[in-house]
Structure 1
């Protein structure tokens, strides 16, 4: 469903398990900091609202969105997190750089999900302009960070229910 048809912050709280006994890593791109910090705040607040202990939320920065995959791999290998939330923002410019970065991050996060027994959550905004990013980082379309946090909680619960 297109974001303009659904608010990223809307979710049925009764369908979200408690995050009380879960530990999360959040890897945040420093590039487009205004956007990525808003995404982080959304994710952090949603995790806590759903029972996560703030001491069980680890935040680490990477320089740009392309580095999200390696930073997230480090997070999974060097900590005991139950899920890694990858937050970044790529805004289209005048060169094909946008396409290469978006494709690389998408493929990288997909590969991490296949290689590890920890869910890696795709919280990358890929927008045509700054306003679209702002609209999806707490603006009129909600916050992709909220959606990423709910996804992380649900994926951890799914893994636990299957005795991963």
Structure 2
């Protein structure tokens, strides 16, 4: 189901694990900062609303979405970090750069998760336009940051 048909901020919370003592790192791309800041705020609020302690939520900024994989790896390798949420936004634009960036980030984050055996969440928007991004960063389609945070919490229940 596409996000055009679903609100990203509506999800089931049945059976969520206790995250009171879990440590999260949210790695945020600075590129498209109006969008990524809204996504960060959504992720942060969702973690707190579901029991994360504010001192256990760290933020790390990277220049753009391409750098999310390395930024996530820096924190995923730390034994005291339970989950990493990568937040970014790559808008289609006039060239195919988005194809290369999005594929690289998706593969990079997957590799980091598997290498360190912990949740590393793809909270990256891949819209065609800025308006589509805004619609998914707290707009009419909810907030992908909320969804990314809930995904991190749910993935922790597997461990």
Per the normalisation by structure 2, the TM-score is 0.96
2: CA distance between counterparts of 1:45 and 1:117?
Answer: 25
Q: Quote the offset at 1:14 in angstroms.
A: 3.3
In structure 1, what is the equivalent of residue 6 of structure 2?
A: 6
Structure 2 residues without counterparts, runs of 5 or longer:
none
| Number of aligned positions between the proteins | 159
Q: How far did 1:22 drift?
A: 1.1
Alignment of 1:107-118 (within 5 A): 107-118=107-118
Give me the whole-angstrom Cα distance separating, in 2, the residues matched to 1:67 and 1:38: 19
- Post-superposition offset of 1:79: 5.9
Deviations along 1:31-51, one digit per CA (max 9) or x if unpaired, are 000000000000000000000
3-state SS of 2:126 partner: strand
Please state how far the C-alpha of 1:21 moved relative to its aligned partner.
Answer: 1.9
SS at match of 1:47: helix
Q: Map 1:89-128; keep pairs closer than 5 Å.
A: 89-128=89-128
Report the Cα distance in structure 2 between the residues aligned to 1:126 and 1:9, rounded to whole angstroms: 17
Q: C-alpha displacement at 1:87, in angstroms?
A: 0.3
The Cα offsets for residues 108-132 of structure 1, whole Å up to 9 and x where unpaired, read as: 1111122111110010000000000
TM-score by length of 1: 0.93
Q: Which residue of 2 aligns with 1:25?
A: 25
- Structure 2 CA distance for aligned equivalents of residues 117 and 77 of structure 1: 9
Q: For 2:42 and 2:78, how far apart are their aligned partners in 1?
A: 25
Task: Indicate the SS of the match to 2:93.
Answer: coil
CA distance in 1, matches of 2:53, 2:20: 6
The runs of 5 or more residues in structure 1 that have no matched partner are 160-164
> Which stretch shifts more, 32-41 or 104-113?
104-113
Tell me which stretches of 4 or more aligned residues in structure 1 moved more than 3 Å. Answer: none
CA distance in 2, matches of 1:20, 1:8: 24
- Report what 1:77 is aligned to: 77
